[in-house]
Amino acid sequence: MKKWVQWILAVVFMIGSCPSALAYVETVKPQEGQTIADVETLAIGAPFYTAKEGVPTLEEYIQILNTSGEKILKGNIVTYDTVAQGIRQRTGKDVYTMDRRPAKRIFEQNVSDFADAYVVSTVTMSRRTVFFFDVYRAATNELLYSYEIIMESDDPNDVKTYTEMVGKFYKNFNWSAESQKKNQKEAAKAEQKEREKAERKAQREKEKAAGR
């Protein structure tokens, strides 16, 4: 538990130390007992997004998720279109023509064939627009990681601002995964040192007993 608290504080410190992030409220919620260090490929699930007049359309927002992911995560992103087309080819089911609930169920049942995990974004628009990003394990649909960012009330609801918000999620997710990998390597090294120390001690005791 202590390690998780330290990790969250490190993320908060990182965010607070970045001047460009001071205008926004960001929250990172890694799930205790879960890891994203082994997530090599991340698929994009259908977002919960209802466009209003004057804001990016659903198609534009999905494109933002796609292009930002490809730019920041490089080849580790799998677009919703790719998964949807793959599902249609393999099962004959078209999630584009289904209602949201059955489409979500079919997506969750098949996404593990395309990626290690998937992200579902939710956008709420009121006085301040809020972006939620929940990352799930593709094989089990377990929640692994959550990220939330709140825009300033005077920020424009346009493609540029939304691209910035989505980019912050991808960068934070990538940073969090790399931090976990580093911590795991350090823990493995520490365990190895303890094993070697115990083996040396056991060898000394064995030699001492043999010399009696």
**CATH number of 73's domain:** 3.40.50.10610
Residue 102's domain comprises 2-181
Within a domain: 31: yes
Within a domain: 199: no
pLDDT at 189: 61
Within a domain: 26: yes
User: What is the pLDDT confidence band of residue 188, given thresholds at 50, 70 and 90?
Assistant: low
Answer for the pair 68, 166: CB distance below 8 angstroms, yes or no.
yes
* Strand partners of residue 145: 30, 135
pLDDT at 53: 87
Answer for the pair 130, 123: CB distance below 8 angstroms, yes or no.
yes
Phi/psi of residue 152, each to 5°?
-70, 150
pLDDT at 211: 65
Within a domain: 111: yes
Alpha carbon distance 69, 36 (integer Å): 16
Answer for the pair 143, 34: CB distance below 8 angstroms, yes or no.
yes
Within a domain: 131: yes
Within a domain: 195: no
Work out how many domains the chain is built from and give that number.
1
Within a domain: 207: no
Write the pLDDT tens digit of every residue in 9-42: 344 434 443 434 445 777 887 677 778 888 999 9
Per DSSP bridges, beta strands 25-30 and 42-44 are: unpaired
